[in-house]
A and B are shown apart, each in its own frame.
Chain A
Amino acid sequence: AQKITQTQPGMFVQEKEAVTLDCTYDTSDQSYGLFWYKQPSSGEMIFLIYQGSYDEQNATEGRYSLNFQKARKSANLVISASQLGDSAMYFCAMKGAGSYQLTFGKGTKLSVIP
């Protein structure tokens, strides 16, 4: 069984500052993938970034980077230079090798303050 824990129900960040959203996971799989999705108030789910369990380097996509610490089973999302449009719910998710489904955390609501 897989489990994702996001301990921050809500976060505030000043515009242009960096913010880290926490995610820890639990799995018995040796190979797995970790994903972050953004859900703005309009409701759609937007894929942000992916990290494979065997990737040696942390994933980066523009202003998003994933701080992957395998021994700690954490996959925190770092957003640099926050923008007002970053205000949204952020979900961490994982998928085990050979599995089709994503297991989601409960999400973190990020609010960017001007």
Chain B
Amino acid sequence: DTAVSQTPKYLVTQMGNDKSIKCEQNLGHDTMYWYKQDSKKFLKIMFSYNNKELIINETVPNRFSPKSPDKAHLNLHINSLELGDSAVYFCASSQAGSYNEQFFGPGTRLTVL
């Protein structure tokens, strides 16, 4: 059973389009995250939800909007895609608490043409 799953795994789209990435976890965790990994492999937090409430909202363009319909899902919607949005996006989940590791999804490679 996949613990944290993301769809799609690859996403190729044109500039200006709107796209969504879905994330689901079956670990019963309270907290979910979106990270962005750039072309230099640097990972940076974008958003975090705890029990469906937004708790971290880093400085990302407001074209990015997370949505958490329930504790097990955290989707990422991106409007008006730009070339610079090309990256790998990782969803992760953990139990609340500082000492619990985060489990990552397989990543979604977004390419904007």
Q: Show the binding face of A for B, using Cβ within 8 Å.
A: 31-33, 35, 37, 39, 43-47, 50, 52, 89, 91, 95-104, 106-107
Contact = CB atoms under 8 A, between A and B. Distances in A.
Contact of B43 (A43, A47, A104): A104
Contact of B45 (A52, A96, A98, A102): A102
A97 B99 CA distance: 8
Contacts of B101: 35, 47, 50
Interface in B58-113: 88, 90, 92, 96, 98-99, 101-104, 106-107, 109
B102 to A, nearest CB: 6
B102 A47 contact: yes
Given A47-B101, A103-B45, 11 more contacts: A31-B98, A33-B99, A37-B104, A44-B107, A45-B90, A100-B33, A100-B56, A100-B96, A101-B45, A101-B56, A107-B41
Tell me the interface secondary structure of chain A in the complex.
Answer: strand
Interface residues of B, number: 25
B102 A102 contact: yes
A104 B40 CA distance: 13
A95 B96 CA distance: 12
Nearest to A55: B99
B53 to A, nearest CB: 11
Contacts of B45: 101-103
